[in-house]
A = this chain, B = another copy of it.
């Protein structure tokens, strides 16, 4: 005598929720489905109705899926959250899993995969889309093979950042309370380390390596 499974669909795309809801309602399993269009709506909903499973989009207005997941896990630690994302973005799934999600599906998953994920998380397991698994494995290899990244010191990064802002060495020296000659030297070292030839190349390097945002 199973009770009805309580399912929350959280996604800002009404059409997506509507379709998914339809798919669930046309199954044999007993289930109760409620919807929310962002993280805040979900939290409001959970105040009066405790979900067993939450299918959670990530990119949403007002409160995104990552924040919502953190908050739900804090308030209702037994809830099973399944992330549903458009893209196999590595930042997303690592953040979502850290936040407490138990499964991560891409939206191009089949409905069958969604059902498999639900079964899995109810059994206390994790579940990932095949694409996600592939992506995780690729990243593991990538990180092993390319650990060096930027070997600039924090001081050098600080100076490079100010160079990108358009400051001269003299100005940087004044704002950091060090000699201009020291900044000259740092700049020289940065050019060497980044294999850049001049300021223009430095700025490009900084942007590529996310030391400076445009």
Q: Give A contacts to B, CB under 8 Å.
A: 12-16, 18-20, 22-23, 26, 86, 106-111, 114, 163-168, 196-204, 207-208, 214
Chain B residues contacting A22 (CB-CB under 8 Å) are: 19, 22-23, 26
A interface, over-half SS: helix
A-B residue pairs in contact (CB < 8 Å), sample of 28: A13-B86, A13-B106, A13-B107, A13-B108, A14-B109, A14-B110, A15-B20, A15-B107, A15-B109, A15-B110, A15-B111, A15-B114, A16-B19, A18-B19, A18-B111, A19-B22, A19-B111, A22-B23, A86-B86, A163-B200, A164-B204, A166-B197, A166-B198, A166-B201, A166-B204, A168-B198, A200-B200, A204-B214
Q: How far is the CA of A14 from the CA of B23 in the complex (A)?
A: 13
Chain B residues contacting A164 (CB-CB under 8 Å) are: 200, 204
Q: How far is the CA of A196 from the CA of B110 in the complex (A)?
A: 52
Closest B residue to A110 by beta carbon equals: B14
Q: Are A107 and B23 in contact (CB under 8 A)?
A: no
